Amino acid sequence: MGKKNARWIVDIGMVILLPLLMAYSLIGEAFHEIVGTVMLALFLIHLVQNRKWLIAIPKGRYNARRIFQTVLDLLLLVFMILQPITGILMSKHLYTFITSSISRCRSPPPATGTWSMAIRPRK
Ligand code: HEM
């Protein structure tokens, strides 16, 4: 499989999983946690596949458009990492071995979910 195909498969996978994750209350908690875990894996692969973009951040000149897009992408990156971490901390199914030792908090995943939706439509 070529690198381009591998990137394409990961990207399409994330496009399919995102609406499923946003439909949290429709798909059920346990399924959400499984899909969210797959999404996290795909996102980490996506970061490795596109590491050149990260490496290029300090390079070159910044015009208004590049500043805007880079800030949006970095916000998205932060949310895409916080989302599964806060989700795992609140897990009731897959990660109970973690949550059983920590008191359960509410609200970070919905908050980050809403904000990552707000900044997502870009291209
Ligand atoms: C990038 C991956 C993920 C995305 C985009 C995502 C998205 C969301 C969204 C949008 C909600 C809010 C549902 C609502 O209140 O209407 C939510 C809630 C939740 N998510 Fe995720 N999620 C992800 C990963 C995970 C993972 C990996 C887990 C756990 C293993 C998880 C566990 C939860 C839990 C427990 C809630 C309920 C929060 C509450 O009770 O208020 N999520 N998630």
Question: What share of the chain has pLDDT > 90, as a percent?
Answer: 68
Cβ neighbours of residue 90 closer than 8 Å, sequence gap 6 or more: 99, 104, 105, 106, 108, 109
Residue 107 CA: nearest ligand 1 atom is 41
Q: What is the mean pLDDT of residues 58-80?
A: 97
Query: In whole angstroms, what is the distance from residue 109 CA to residue 94 CA?
Result: 16
Average pLDDT value for the chain: 87
pLDDT confidence band for 96 (50 / 70 / 90)? confident
Give the pocket of ligand 1 (CB within 6 Å). 21-22, 24-25, 32-33, 36-37, 39-40, 80, 83-84, 87-88, 90-92, 94-95, 106-107, 109-110, 113
Q: Which domain holds residue 100?
A: 3-119
Structural domain tally of the chain?
1
Residue 80 CA: nearest ligand 1 atom is 1
Instruction: List, for residues 7-16, the tens digit of each pLDDT value.
Output: 999 999 999 9
Sign, CA dihedral 83-85-87-90, equals negative
